[in-house]
């Protein structure tokens, strides 16, 4: 029996970083993504976000890749948002995302960070957060 435990902090934004994700929409979206992940056997530990982005803490299964999990979450959720007419305009996620591995020793810190997104973004914009991530993880070019 294979045993795999690879934690990934996955972050993705709305197309053009449009602030479509009101608190009401986020609550519905989070619940929908949680249910969808269960159906697709994606282990989602924590989800939260703000008006233009989402953070997910996932554990990859032995046959899952970051790209496939991101595609399943983003693709299905954008279809659902449009089907439910939750936004006035057509909803889309940006093509790109960023993902970073998380060690077991940092799990609690990352979970708390994700859970406190609303408070966090009352002080810092998503753009500033991206710049901070770029600096911390030494990413050279991310849009």
pLDDT, tens digit (0-9, with 9 covering 90-100), for 111-129: 999 998 887 666 767 677 7
Residue scoring higher pLDDT (134 or 89)? 89
Query: What is the average pLDDT across 82-99?
Result: 95
Query: What is the average pLDDT across 100-109?
Result: 94
Nearest 10 degrees: Cα torsion 96, 54, 131, 90: 50
Please give the domain boundaries of the chain with CATH numbers for all domains: 6-137 (3.30.70.1290)
Measure Cα distances from 11 to 1, 83, 136 in Å. Answer: 31, 23, 15
């Amino acid at each position: 029996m294979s045993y795999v435990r690879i934690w990934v902090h996955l972050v993705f934004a709305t197309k053009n970083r449009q602030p479509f994700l009101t608190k009401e929409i986020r609550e519905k979206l989070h619940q929908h993504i949680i249910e969808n992940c269960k159906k697709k056997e994606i282990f989602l530990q924590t989800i939260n976000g703000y008006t233009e982005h989402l953070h997910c803490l996932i554990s990859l299964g032995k046959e899952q890749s970051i790209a496939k999990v991101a595609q399943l979450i983003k693709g299905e959720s954008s279809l659902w948002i449009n089907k439910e007419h939750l936004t006035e305009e057509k909803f889309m996620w940006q093509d790109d995302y960023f993902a970073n591995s998380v060690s077991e020793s940092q799990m609690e810190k990352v979970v708390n960070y994700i859970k406190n997104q609303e408070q966090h973004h009352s002080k810092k914009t998503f753009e500033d957060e991206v710049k901070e991530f770029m600096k911390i993880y030494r990413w050279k070019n991310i849009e």
